[in-house]
Amino acid sequence: MPDILHRIEAKTSAAKAYDALTTRDGLARWWTTDTQGSFELGGVIEFRFGSRGFIHMKVIEREAGQRVLWQVVDGPSEWLGSRVRFDLEQDGEHTAVLFQHQGWKEASRFMHHCSTKWALFLMSLKSLLETGHGAAYPNDVHVTCKAD
């Protein structure tokens, strides 16, 4: 099954990157401002994107400063059952975020689109970690000619 893969580095600690992946305030500042739910292990986080739709992620793993793994439990049909994983690797003043959105059934147009969007949201995360300002929905960067 095809995966979406990305990697960014930010001038920050793994602890701060982990906070941005595991707290309401962090997630709301780089992915979507409309983030709610339960952020603990086994909880379900609800990410909403207005009329574009929503995604519910169950927290499958969270290891402080190292790894976060979510399973999609509701949302776009092509996302159902897929998993989103972040691995953190600190090296001195920098932290790398290795990203995988695993378990797509096929390399659809929508998967191509989501791959590009993930890259831009990860750049939003990098910006948040380095400057304090991300580009979360509804202020995200568009890759198509309509809202996406």
Q: Which residues bind a second copy (CB under 8 A)?
A: 2-11, 93-94, 96, 98-100, 107, 109, 111-113, 115-116, 119-120, 122-123, 126, 141, 143-145
* Beta carbon nearer to a second copy, 24 or 94: 94
Q: Minimum distance from CB of 112 to a second copy (Å)? A: 4
* Beta carbon nearer to a second copy, 1 or 25: 1
Q: Minimum distance from CB of 114 to a second copy (Å)? A: 9
Q: Minimum distance from CB of 8 to a second copy (Å)? A: 5
* Beta carbon nearer to a second copy, 41 or 107: 107
Measured in whole angstroms, the distance separating CA 56 from the mean position of its chain's CA atoms is 12
Backbone angles phi, psi at 104, to 5 degrees: -70, 145
Starting at the earlier edge strand, list the strands of the sheet with 83-91.
Answer: 4-10, 94-102, 83-91, 67-74, 54-63, 44-48, 34-37
